[in-house]
Structure 1
Amino acid sequence: MTKLDSIKNTVNDAEDFARKIWLAGLGAYGKSLDEVQGRYEKLNADASKLFDELVVKGTKLETEAKGKIKAKTNVEARVAEVRQKLGLDKPEMEQKVDELSARIDALTAAVAALAEKQNKA
């Protein structure tokens, strides 16, 4: 083998090695791209799953809230019905109820004062 052939072989080996380095770089880029894409797809799937779970939970809470609001409305309607049957739905009756409540409060205070006097004696 001549010196020229030896140089050609060395150049060919260097070119082959440089090409392999280039291909390894491309391979690393491709592998990184695949990993990123895989992570993105998993993250996207996880986000979709979480979103779906939140929708289900929100639907359940909405149903519960509607039931509670309906129950409260029913209770309020029943109270209004009872007030009407007792004649307490008229403005003058509310005033009378307030007056009676004030009298009861005054009587309660008076009884408490008498009990305190009797305890001291």
Structure 2
Amino acid sequence: MVKTDSIKGKFNEAEDFARKIWLAGLGAYGKSVEQAQGRYEKLSEEASKMFDDLVQKGETLEDDARSKFKATTNDVESRVSEVRKKLGLDVEQSDQKIEELSAKIDALTEAVAKLAANK
């Protein structure tokens, strides 16, 4: 019986050792999953933060571009208005000049009609 007990003892030791190897492998797998999950969560948070930072930077650049574009547009419109005034192409001046020319044409038409009637 001593031999049987010795064999059973060695078998139990081998079984315990095999179980410990199995548990160590399972533990290593669990630890690697936890680490991978932790890294994934960290990367996900960093990616979200980076995305939010990029969106904020984009909004700032867009606002700057809009204000510069608006300032440039206002400057161009002001310069065009000045040039039109200098050339006499201002809308208010144009309407006035058209009325003056129409009055002159009407006067010339009357003068031609009178000359034609006198002949």
The question of a shared fold, defined as TM-score above 0.5 by the shorter chain, is answered with yes
1:107 maps to which residue?
none
Tell me the distance in 2 between the aligned counterparts of 1:71 and 1:2: 102
TM-score by length of 1: 0.71
2:20 maps to which residue?
20
Q: Kindly report structure 1 stretches of 4+ aligned residues shifted beyond 4 Å.
A: none
Matched, 1:58 2:52: no
> What is the CA RMSD across the aligned residues, in angstroms?
1.5
3-state SS of 2:87 partner:
coil
Tell me the distance in 2 between the aligned counterparts of 1:7 and 1:88: 118
TM-score by length of 2: 0.72
Tell me the distance in 1 between the aligned counterparts of 2:10 and 2:64: 80
2:10 maps to which residue?
10
Runs of at least 5 residues in structure 1 that lack an aligned partner in the other structure: 90-121
1:69 maps to which residue?
69
Q: Which digits, 9 at most, give the CA deviation of each residue in 1:46-102, with x for residues without a partner? A: 00000000000000000000000000100010001100110176xxxxxxxxxxxxx
Runs of at least 5 residues in structure 2 that lack an aligned partner in the other structure: 90-119
Larger Rg: 2
CA displacement at 1:38 relative to structure 2:
0.3
